[in-house]
Amino acid sequence: MNQFYDQDPELYKVQKGGGCLMLFGLPFFLSGIFTILIPVFLDNKANSEEMIPMIIFGSIFSLVGFGIMFGRAGLVLDRRLNSVRSWWGILFSFSSQQYRLDEVQKVTLTKEVRRSKNSSYTVYPIRILGETAGGEDFKVNVKESRQYQESRRLGEEIAKFVTRSLVDSSSGKTVVREHDKLDESVREKVRRLGKTTEIPPVPEKTKLHCQIEGKEIEILIPPYGWHFIMWLPLAIGAIISGVFAINMRGFFDNAPIYFQVMAFLFLSFPLLGISFVLLKFASTQHLLEVTPKIFRATKSSPFGKKVEELSTDKIEELEMVTGQNFLGGNILARSDEKTVSFGTGLSSEELKWLYAVVENTISA
């Protein structure tokens, strides 16, 4: 997808299709054409009953490939014409919908799960919502990216162009950001509102370890440890591996030993994969290093270390999300380039204290 301001600053376009999709659709198209032509090369050796399914199958494949290669969809926002127009077509526009730009009420960013027969994945759709003069609600789907940051940047661009709020509910908590405050950092917001953050007392029996030197602070969050509910996915992985092993036991009786070893590793993969993820989570500790200039989060475990860093003047949101799952909640530090999550597994009192300390430090 391409999104861009046209040479005309009053025009903003979003276009889907072309580019890599043409390469993706080419194998489908060529496979379909080849299948349709097979009867020709058979030189009438195949009867019509054999040829018809091949032609139908090939036609479907070639049409799908053609649609992927040459399908196009787009959105045009025009401030001069006061219009929002979405369209789609193949080679040229087949259908379009048009609304008034001044009837747009907001731009939304959500988190949704798409499921198919064999898989599922998460997307972050951007939509334009409004209401016509006749009282009819309308919705324009702009894009569904699998990357939150990409959707966030696009949502901000469109919200600025249409001068409407960006409503972000991707974390499970709705955050409304005005179009003229989208680039405002947490520090700038605190100073504009004259907000003072009172740091609550350190929670009793906390597992947090805090060290303060002047305006710099280090907070160590120990590993979460093993939780009884983690036995559930382990049991599921063991059941899946066991069912496969039982059903294929007879198949491996006379197989070479090296083949049996490879088969055992393959059948154990669900259990081993789940065990690895759980052990990594349970053994990971977090070190937060926060100053008025830099926010750095280091995750370390026996399986490796990951360091994420944000400049504090680029942090536009500091969001505390609670009650999402058995782990309790977490805190999100967000900029246009990156989102850093920390505090998972802490109690609500610990999260509130940690949030207040981090906000107070990056706002200094």
Q: Is the same domain home to 315 and 216? A: yes
Q: How many domains does the chain have?
A: 2
Q: Is the same domain home to 217 and 325? A: yes
Parent domain of 343? 209-225+283-362
Q: Is the same domain home to 291 and 358? A: yes
Q: Is the same domain home to 345 and 266? A: no
Q: What is the CATH number of the domain that holds 321?
A: 2.30.29.30
How far apart CA 349 and CA 291 sit, in angstroms, is 22
Three-state SS for 43-85 is: CCCCCHHHHHHHHHHHHHHHHHHHHHHHEEEEEEEECCCCEEE
Residue 349 lies in a domain: yes
Q: Is the same domain home to 322 and 219? A: yes
pLDDT of residue 14: 81
Q: Is the same domain home to 237 and 337? A: no
Residue 264 lies in a domain: yes
How far apart CA 51 and CA 359 sit, in angstroms, is 70
Residue 325 lies in a domain: yes
Q: Is the same domain home to 257 and 272? A: yes
Residue 249 CB neighbours (<10 A): 9
Q: Is the same domain home to 219 and 264? A: no
∠ Cα 177 124 106 (to 5°): 35
Q: Is the same domain home to 347 and 331? A: yes
Domain end (from 246, 265, 281): 281
Q: Among positive and negative, which fits the CA dihedral 31, 74, 165, 135? A: negative
Q: Is the same domain home to 339 and 269? A: no
Q: What is the pLDDT along the chain (364 residues), one digit of tens a residue?
A: 454 545 678 889 887 755 455 555 566 666 766 666 666 665 555 555 666 666 676 677 676 766 655 566 788 899 999 999 887 766 566 667 889 999 999 999 999 998 877 778 899 999 999 999 888 999 999 988 899 999 999 999 999 999 999 999 998 889 999 999 999 999 999 988 887 777 778 888 888 888 888 888 999 988 877 777 777 777 877 777 777 666 666 655 666 666 666 766 666 777 777 788 888 888 889 999 999 999 999 999 888 899 999 999 999 999 998 765 566 788 999 999 999 999 888 888 889 899 999 998 998 7
Q: Is the same domain home to 296 and 265? A: no
pTM higher than the cut 0.95: no
Three-state SS for the chain is: CEEEECCCCCEEEEEECCCHHHHHHHHHHHHHHHHHHHHHHCCCCCCHHHHHHHHHHHHHHHHHHHHHHHEEEEEEEECCCCEEEEEEEECEEEEEEEEEHHHEEEEEECCEEEECCCCEEEEEEEEEEEECCCCCEEEEEEEEECCHHHHHHHHHHHHHHHCCEEEECCCCCCEEECHHHCCCCHHHHHHHHCCCCCCCCCCCCCCCEEEEECCEEEEEECCCCCCHHHHHHHHHHHHHHHHHHHHCCHHHCCCCHHHHHHHHHHHCHHHHHHHHHHHHHHCCEEEEEECCCEEEEEEEECCEEEEEEEEHHHCCEEEEEECCCCCCEEEEEECCCCEEEECCCCCHHHHHHHHHHHHHHHCC
Residue 141 lies in a domain: no
pLDDT of residue 147: 93
Q: Is the same domain home to 290 and 355? A: yes
Residue 353 lies in a domain: yes
pLDDT of residue 1: 47
Residue 64 lies in a domain: no
Which structure tokens are listed for 231? 């036995």
pLDDT of residue 240: 72
Residue 302 lies in a domain: yes
How far apart CA 110 and CA 308 sit, in angstroms, is 24
Residue 107 lies in a domain: no
